[in-house]
Amino acid sequence: MHEVLLTLGFGLVTAAILSLSAVAFTLEYAVTNVANLSHGEILTIGAYAAYLVHRLTGSALLAALGAAVAGGIVALAMHTAVIDPFVRRGFGTMPTFIATLGMSFVIQNVLVIIFGAANVAYTIPQGAPHQVGPFLWTSAEEEIIISALGITAVLYVIITHTKFGKALRAVFQNRDLARVTGINARLVGAATWFLAGLVAGYAGFILAESVGTFNPYFGFSFFLITLTAAVAGGLGKPFSTMAGALIVGIVLEFAGGYISASYEIAFAFAILAAIILVRPRGLFTNARRTVFE
- Angle ∠(42,117,58) on CA atoms, nearest 5: 65
* CB-neighbour burial class of residue 157 (10 A; exposed 0-12, middle 13-18, buried 19+): exposed
* Distance, CA of 196 to CA of 71 (rounded, Å): 8
* CB-neighbour burial class of residue 16 (10 A; exposed 0-12, middle 13-18, buried 19+): buried
Identity of the residue, 106 or 177, whose beta carbon is nearer to another protein in the bound complex: 106
Q: Report the residue from 231, 245, 251, 252 that binds another protein according to the rule CB under 8 A.
A: 231
Q: Report the residue from 58, 116, 125, 134 that binds another protein according to the rule CB under 8 A.
A: 116
CB 267 within 8 A of CB 252: yes
CB of 88 to another protein, least distance (A): 11
* Distance, CA of 293 to CA of 280 (rounded, Å): 12
Q: Report the residue from 7, 105, 147, 284 that binds another protein according to the rule CB under 8 A.
A: 105
Site string for another protein, 165-194 (x = CB under 8 A): ------------------------------
Identity of the residue, 137 or 220, whose beta carbon is nearer to another protein in the bound complex: 220
* Distance, CA of 13 to CA of 141 (rounded, Å): 7
Q: Report the residue from 55, 58, 95, 184 that binds another protein according to the rule CB under 8 A.
A: 95
Total chain residues near another protein (CB under 8 A): 48
Distances, alpha carbon 199 to alpha carbons 20, 49, 84, 195, in Å: 6, 14, 20, 7
Identity of the residue, 158 or 224, whose beta carbon is nearer to another protein in the bound complex: 224
CB of 99 to another protein, least distance (A): 5
264-273 CB burial, b ≥16 within 10 A, e <16: beebbeebbe
CB of 72 to another protein, least distance (A): 21
CB of 108 to another protein, least distance (A): 8
Looking only at residues 30 through 59 of this chain, which bind another protein when binding is defined by CB under 8 A? 35
Q: Report the residue from 8, 73, 112, 120 that binds another protein according to the rule CB under 8 A.
A: 112
**291 lines the binding site for another protein (CB under 8 A):** yes
**109 lines the binding site for another protein (CB under 8 A):** yes
* Distance, CA of 180 to CA of 260 (rounded, Å): 53
Q: Report the residue from 146, 177, 259, 270 that binds another protein according to the rule CB under 8 A.
A: 270
CB of 28 to another protein, least distance (A): 13
In this structure, the number of other CB atoms found within 10 A of the CB of residue 174 comes to 11
* CB-neighbour burial class of residue 122 (10 A; exposed 0-12, middle 13-18, buried 19+): buried
Instruction: Give the binding site for another protein (CB under 8 A).
Output: 35, 82, 85-86, 91, 93-99, 101-106, 108-110, 112-113, 116-117, 220, 224, 227, 231, 260, 262-263, 265-266, 269-270, 272-273, 276-277, 280, 286, 288-293
